[in-house]
Amino acid sequence: MTEGYHDRLLGDLLAQAFGELDADTLAVLREQLSWVEVAGGQTLMQQGEPGDSMYLSVSGRLRAYVSQDGEAARMVREMGRGQVIGEMSLYTDAPRSATVVAIRDSVLVRLDKAQFLRLIEQQPRVGVALTRQIVHRLQTEHAPAPFAAPVVQALLPISPGVDAAGLAQGLARELARFGRVRVLDAAAVQAAVGPGGDDSERYRQVSLWLDEVESAHDYVLLVADDGPTPWTQRCCRHADEVLLLADAAQAPVVHVSERQCLVERPPRTEAAEILVLLHAADTVAPRGTAAWLARRPVADHFHVRPALPRDVARLARLQARRAVGLVLAGGGARGFSHLGLLRALQEAGVEVDCVGGTSMGSVMAALAAADQPLDRVMDVARAAFRVNPTGDFNLLPLISLIRGQRLRTALDRALGSLVGADAGIEDLWKPFYCIATNYSQASEALLTHGRLERALRASTAIPGALPPVILDGDLLCDGGSFNNFPVDVMRARRGVGIVIGADLSLHKARKLEFDEVPSPWALLRDRWRPRGRRRYRLPALSAYLLNATILYSASRRRAARAACDVYFNPPLERVGLLAWQRFDAIVQQGHAHALEVLAQPLVRSRLNP
């Protein structure tokens, strides 16, 4: 298996993984390695078995599964070219912590423990380099495991008339910003390999040639045929991810290529399937996405207008794991400041690819995910919240102090203007999520599908203040109780490489200079004094109740901030949670703060690597 191109690729990968070692030491290490081929669906290592070797992935793709307490195995990580697997076994006698399975045919090199022990006696620096790998793994093991960027991507048409070749060329141009790209179809393979002999020999020749192409490129796009031909089957078998290209204007039926090339694959060989719904350039808002998703087990879905370069560029960033995710925290009327941040990001040329948020942050995130001109979004938001959305008090407050009808009207008006009042979360142009609290299950609820207006009402339903929302038989309320600044969710999103977070928490904790809470009459008299002469700096009842609901979220703030690549926290101490009448002023404060942050050299370098 020591083909010349694999040898060359191995040399590059060893230099990347152990760059601190000199050439002579790397050569000694290389002599101790043995080649390993793993067929798609084959198990490389089993959880619980003794560990006696380390692996380095040279080509292909593998997936790690963990099973605990008799539960079904869950996928925890995908591993591609250049990743080290099982290195802990060289230092300890602990059993394997995960089962690793090849998603597709993969090539690796193995370093056995006995050889490693002999090696570090001769070259101690090898042990130091591996120790650094382990330390890095331990430092990141509690963070959501990123999805490794797919090297080989199959573009599979699942609707008649889809221009897969045209999309592949556009996608290749955008991916070229991040590395070397090659587009292949059946004709290109035929021209390169030529006619073959028997089927088995032909299959081997094409496999070796594809491996060589893969070793020389960062991204390989395989354009499948319109039907389930042998080339289409090979594309699906050889790919790290399969992009299902569908014409959104057609019926969401399962294509014959899906049935024959994807549904009937061997267990655990399934590459992730990504549904790419293609739209005309003048489409205002997608519709009917849920019907497409209901018929196929996809890992994700994206909406693309192939005639718009920015849509193709967004798809490229997602597939290259370079997408920008924006997380917007809750905070009542302070959430208007998020619109100012969006303005500043647009002025700085920063494209936001995925959005998510909680409470009022979820509303602003949904407006951003509609992908409409920002001036129109501003006008729609200003009009929707012109009337105080929390001013319709309940005469019989049996479950909430506020009826919530005004907020519902505001949401209907805003969504109806941008995407349609009946839109689903799946119908937004940009990937979106919001957080609610599942009161019935006492848990955080991640909402990524279903009716958008209902999801936003659930995410903003402050306990006791606004009526809860019933979803799938459970009672849902404001997500701020569990996760008001859901950066961790964005970090785990497929495709996201950079996370921007906008936090609305206030920094200053004020010490009180009195020992007992005054009587209601004393507080009332104090409120009549000018602000600067007041003795009792206590929060209003509404602010006290609202802030009390997010205390647990506040305790997670430090970890959420650390998980951001770029962090915004506008100074809104003088803005109340219910200051709905100050729309333009709050937007301007958010914009001014964002400009200050974006002017920092470190921030600019992170957003434009």
Are residues 183 and 304 part of one domain? yes
At 552 the three-state DSSP class reads helix
Does a structural domain hold residue 145? no
Contacts of 541 (CB under 8 A, 6+ apart): none
> Using CA atoms in the order 129, 133, 134, 136, what is the torsion angle rounded to 10 degrees?
130
Are residues 457 and 386 part of one domain? yes
Angle among Cα 280, 286, 292 to the nearest 5 degrees reads 105
Does 421 score more than 90 pLDDT? no
Q: Which residues are catalytic?
A: 359, 478
In CATH, what number is assigned to the domain containing residue 248? 3.40.50.300
Q: What is the mean pLDDT of the chain?
A: 88
> Which tens digit of pLDDT belongs to each residue from 497-549?
999 999 998 766 667 777 788 888 888 887 788 877 777 777 776 666 666 66
Token match 């995407």: residue? Answer: 419
pLDDT of residue 87: 81
pLDDT of residue 440: 95
Are residues 391 and 274 part of one domain? no
Structure tokens at 608: 């434009």
* Listed residues 138, 163, 195: the one ending a domain: 138
pLDDT of residue 543: 67
Look at the chain and report how many structural domains it folds into.
3
Does a structural domain hold residue 406? yes
Contacts of 485 (CB under 8 A, 6+ apart): 327, 329, 330, 358, 361, 501, 503, 505, 553, 556, 557, 560
Bridge partners of 99, per DSSP, are 65
Q: Name the residue range of residue 212's domain.
A: 152-320
| Inter-residue contact 545 to 465 (CB < 8 Å) | yes
Find the range with the poorest average confidence among 127-136, 447-456, 479-488.
127-136
Q: Nearest to residue 606, comparing CAs of 345, 367, 366?
A: 345
Instruction: Characterize the bridge pairing of strands 323-328 and 496-502.
Output: parallel
Measure the CA–CA gap between 346 and 423, rounded to whole angstroms. 25
Measure the CA–CA gap between 228 and 203, rounded to whole angstroms. 17
Are residues 339 and 214 part of one domain? no
Are residues 425 and 476 part of one domain? yes
> Which tens digit of pLDDT belongs to each residue from 335-375?
999 999 999 999 999 999 999 999 999 999 999 999 999 99
Contacts of 270 (CB under 8 A, 6+ apart): 103, 262
Are residues 129 and 33 part of one domain? yes
Measure the CA–CA gap between 37 and 29, rounded to whole angstroms. 20
Measure the CA–CA gap between 241 and 495, rounded to whole angstroms. 12
pLDDT of residue 39: 82
Does a structural domain hold residue 518? no
Bridge partners of 402, per DSSP, are 393
| Inter-residue contact 154 to 224 (CB < 8 Å) | yes
Are residues 343 and 276 part of one domain? no
In CATH, what number is assigned to the domain containing residue 564? 3.40.1090.10
| Inter-residue contact 419 to 353 (CB < 8 Å) | no
Contacts of 68 (CB under 8 A, 6+ apart): none
* Listed residues 320, 347, 364: the one ending a domain: 320
Q: What percent of the chain has pLDDT above 70?
A: 90
Does a structural domain hold residue 81? yes
| Inter-residue contact 95 to 48 (CB < 8 Å) | yes
Does a structural domain hold residue 525? no
Does a structural domain hold residue 346? yes
How confident is the model over 445-460, as a mean pLDDT? Answer: 96
* Listed residues 95, 110, 138: the one ending a domain: 138
Q: Nearest to residue 414, comparing CAs of 455, 367, 355, 458?
A: 367
Q: How confident is the model at residue 144 (pLDDT cuts 50, 70, 90)?
A: very low
Does a structural domain hold residue 488? yes
Are residues 388 and 475 part of one domain? yes
What is each CA distance from 503 to 162, 334, 357, 360, 570, in whole angstroms?
42, 10, 10, 12, 8
Q: Nearest to residue 223, comparing CAs of 257, 176, 180?
A: 257
